[in-house]
Homo-oligomer: A and B are copies of this chain.
Amino acid sequence: MSGILRKEAFILPEGVIYLDGNSLGPLPKAVAARVQKMIADEWGDMLIRGWNGAGWMDQPSRVGNQVARIIGAPDGTVVMGDTLSLKVFQALAAAVKMTPKRRVILSDTGNFPSDLYMAEGLVGLLEQGYELRKVAPEEVLGAVDEDVAVVMLTQVDYRTGRTHDMKAVTKAVQAKGAVMLWDLAHSAGAIEVDLAGSNCEFAIGCTYKYLNGGPGAPAFIYVRSDLVETIEPALSGWLGHRQPFAFDLSYKAGAGIERMRVGTPPVIQLTALEVAMELWADVDMAQLRAESIKLQEQFIMEIERDVPQLTLASPRDSAVRGSQVSFRFHEGYAAMQAVIDRGVIGDFRAPDIMRFGFTPMYLDSGDISAAVAIIADVMSNNLWDQEKYKTKSKVT
């Protein structure tokens, strides 16, 4: 369908079918030259004057608006910075201050571990009595009681792709008096998100996956517009100050979403991301979602037809599945290495998940069939059963 597929906008290495855009998106073609230009003309030539002259100072909000558009957020409600883990901390710290008599941060065991770790770290700083409570994804709603200050969930499970219903969960959580924080790591650029419509207080996400911002691209944070002037930033850095260059000795939170800025922004990474986000300016997320589901359904159908060794680990119903499909295999790590060796790049998540991401901007149905043929070859001929594929590396 016109409008979504734009392979020509990406560098896609010869001989590779990239089903790992859910982990690190590929390089948009325009990025290298524009980063080069920023380095030479802005850093090199303007030097310190780049902060005003090249718009570096406003870049976190400017790029925030680019991201806002594809997650259903109004202008001025999203700002970029730091990492997703730090944005978890920042959002949770603000949330617990909003519900001072409640002491529980509730999350689920399907959440990405770093979100849980950051919550643990925050609990360790807060006065005694706070706790992080983790329940199974399907038990979240039943676990929201009057002790729960904030519910923190990742909308799309990083292993299985299972989605939470953002609107329904938010409504139920808020009905119990708790604050809702959504992690959109596997949602932004992957599925339709209607943040404003969901009414959630906070959302966070990263930009190196479906948004193709590059390795270590900065994270984003969203705060509901009616709240942002009243929340107290716990990570109260100078660029979130009302007047950073007044050099006051005391913190005064900045106007609106600017208060969620912390330190000096990573201009080079933000420039790469800003260019990458230009690809999204005209994307209809409903159309992208439909294309993604089509690719996923084709993949599931062909894998189940040709590769009986693999067992679907993702929900079969595409309505509750993000933009990835996962299969279980007892030697999933070795199998994924063997598949990667033949040019089909997915990834592995312990203990037995082979994970494949679907990104209709640079994948078409021919790619899916070609990938399945390679996976089928590896599996039916046991090509994974070699010592070299069985040693676990640090990152997969």
Residues of A within 8 A of B (CB): 11, 13, 16, 18, 20, 23-24, 26-27, 31-32, 35-36, 39-40, 42-45, 47-52, 56-57, 82-86, 89, 93, 97, 109, 112-114, 116-118, 120-122, 124-128, 134, 206, 208, 214-219, 232-239, 241, 245-251, 262-270, 272, 340, 345, 347, 349-350, 393-396
Contact = CB atoms under 8 A, between A and B. Distances in A.
B238 A13 contact: no
Nearest to A51: B395
Contacts of A267: 214-216
A271 to B, nearest CB: 9
A26 to B, nearest CB: 6
Contact of A35 (B35, B216, B393): B35
Contacts of A116: 249-251
B48 A121 contact: no
A77 to B, nearest CB: 22
B82 A263 contact: yes
B395 A120 contact: no
A321 to B, nearest CB: 20
A202 to B, nearest CB: 17
Given A126-B127, A250-B116, A395-B57, A266 B264 contact: no
A298 B362 CA distance: 60
Contact of A32 (B18, B39, B239, B396): B39
Given A49-B340, A118-B236, 4 more contacts: A85-B237, A117-B251, A121-B233, A216-B270
Contacts of A236: 117-118, 120-121, 124
A135 to B, nearest CB: 11
B57 A44 contact: no
A189 to B, nearest CB: 16
A89 B86 CA distance: 11
B44 A27 contact: yes
A268 B215 contact: yes
